[in-house]
Structure 1
Amino acid sequence: MHAWKQIQQTVNYIEDHLNEEINIEDLAKTACLSPFYYQRLFSRLVKKPVAEYIKLRRMARAADCLLQSDIRILDIALELGFTSHEYFSRTFKNTFGLTPDEYRKKPQTLNRMTKPQLLLHYTLVDEEVPLITDGIVLEIHRKELKEPVHYMGLIKDVPIHHIDGLGTESGIDPLASLWDDFHKQKSALTCVSEYTEEIGAAYSSLRRLF
């Protein structure tokens, strides 16, 4: 079995047991690795230490629960294994920059730690050959443009650790404000139809400062 498959097994286990106590030794046994090597390999592939990843996934689950106003914040905290409202609120604020109560009153798009699909990082996707992973079908098709295609919109530089799927930073999503600003300005652009197709694109680049 490839190493990423062993780590993915434990990632899946963590996702199914976020409301329970999760022991690193048990995760290591699931992966058939020593606790030391398991933690080392997990950090390398997932880009986060095991304990921190579990905490961030719990915070992501908490953010979803907070949008359900009929659930008390204390009940959410206890369900996710926190011993008090204060400890939960402090952890949530340290993660996202605002308290659970502030988020519930004024929801914002958060840059959260998503459950990784390591298959997408370590499997070569061939053109026009579907790849199925976690209920998602991915297909790559090459398209040749007969005429130039022009785009107009907004651009924003964002640190790579904020990019979903590439980064590991939690907090307010910096790209959400860009998308909101675009829609606010779109109606004022007479050359853009209301039904114009919208796309979002991201690419990474390294810049050196001298």
Structure 2
Amino acid sequence: MLEGLNEAMEHIEERLCRSIDVAALARAAATSEYHFRRLFSALAGMPLSEYIRRRRMTVAGAEVLAGEMTLLDVATRYGYSSGEAFARAFRAVHGVGPGEARRTGAALRSQPRMSFRLVVEGSTGMRYRIVEKDRFRVVGRKARVPLVHEGANPAIAEFVRSIDEGTLRRLSGMSDQEPEGIVGVSDQLDPGRAEGTELDYYHAVLTSAEGEVPPDLDVLDVPAGTWAVFGSSGPFPQTLQHLWRDVFTQWFPSNPYRSRPGPEILRVGLSGDGEHADADLWIPVERAERSGPSA
């Protein structure tokens, strides 16, 4: 896994002046494009597209300051069809336009080249199990909300408060499989997991019922598949957010599975004061092909 990730990083460096095929990066890492984007985001702390943009603007910034090429030539070299588009991208990374940077010798920001190495962690272990589930339905209320990496998500909190007690009781009566009771279901997430990107959030239950659903409720049909289920306990909401991070940075690189498209399901039990959580996180997975042990 580590060797493949570093091969993908080398692929990026060799093609900063050309288009970068994410499918080729995923092949180098011996995984799917979907899983590669998510794994990179978890390990690097930023979406893959943002890392590539920062690396391009880092090396382009050096050429701007060197003054050996026109600004338009630099823009063209790094794949921008106009000086205006290049200037916008340059300013977004460096906080100053390329013309001003060249005239004043302004200090620019540098994105170091990334590489991945083994760090011995995980001495406390992770609780998980693998579950095969038949097709099921998610039934409840849905909202489009922004992704928040740290702290509570105000949009989700406000949405949940807006659901009346009668609706919650109806939903609880429809739950007929694990995870039992009302759960949080996240679907249609951006693969890069960038802060602020939107997702579909369901406050809902899981059911095998095939009949008509009341018109005031939303439905998500989920096909049969394999799920990895992780358990954790600790302060709320940090425990939930750190659980997802640890799954992608520790568990996936150490186990013969990769994520697959599908909703993520979170069942949370809160303490009376709302400060402690017992959580179960369900992630859709599939077996990963392994060509041999990583160095």
Corresponding position of 2:42: 44
Q: Tell me, what secondary structure is at the counterpart of 2:17?
A: coil
Q: Tell me, what secondary structure is at the counterpart of 1:54?
A: helix
| Structure-1 separation of matches of 2:111 and 2:68 | 25
Corresponding position of 1:63: 61
CA contact (8 A) 1:74 1:85 kept: yes
CA contact (8 A) 2:100 2:106 kept: no
Equivalent residue for 2:111, pick from 90, 110, 113: 113
- 5+ residue gaps, structure 1, are 125-210
| Structure-1 separation of matches of 2:68 and 2:7 | 34
Summarize the alignment of residues 73-88 of structure 1 with structure 2, pairs less than 5 Å apart.
73-88=71-86
Equivalent pairs counted in the alignment come to 120
Per-residue deviation, residues 108-158 of structure 1 (Å, max 9, x unmatched): 333321101322xx246xxxxxxxxxxxxxxxxxxxxxxxxxxxxxxxxxx
Summarize the alignment of residues 1-210 of structure 1 with structure 2, pairs less than 5 Å apart.
3-119=1-117, 122-123=118-119
CA contact (8 A) 1:10 1:30 kept: yes
CA contact (8 A) 2:58 2:109 kept: no
Give the letter for the 1:35 counterpart: E
Using the TM superposition, give the Cα deviation of residue 50 of structure 1 relative to its aligned residue in structure 2, in angstroms.
Answer: 1.2
Percent identity (aligned): 30
- 5+ residue gaps, structure 2, are 121-295
CA contact (8 A) 2:67 2:102 kept: yes
Q: Tell me, what secondary structure is at the counterpart of 2:99?
A: helix
Larger strand proportion, structure 1 or 2?
A: 2
CA contact (8 A) 2:76 2:82 kept: yes
| Structure-2 separation of matches of 1:24 and 1:86 | 26
| Structure-2 separation of matches of 1:13 and 1:6 | 10
Using the TM superposition, give the Cα deviation of residue 67 of structure 1 relative to its aligned residue in structure 2, in angstroms.
Answer: 1.6
Give the letter for the 2:94 counterpart: F
| Structure-1 separation of matches of 2:21 and 2:71 | 25
CA contact (8 A) 1:56 1:95 kept: yes
| Structure-1 separation of matches of 2:2 and 2:109 | 24
TM-score, L = length of structure 2: 0.39
Give the letter for the 1:108 counterpart: A
Per-residue deviation, residues 28-79 of structure 1 (Å, max 9, x unmatched): 1111111110111111222221111111100001111012212100000101
CA contact (8 A) 1:24 1:50 kept: no
Per-residue deviation, residues 70-98 of structure 1 (Å, max 9, x unmatched): 21000001011111100000111111111
Larger helix proportion, structure 1 or 2?
A: 1
Give the letter for the 2:104 counterpart: K
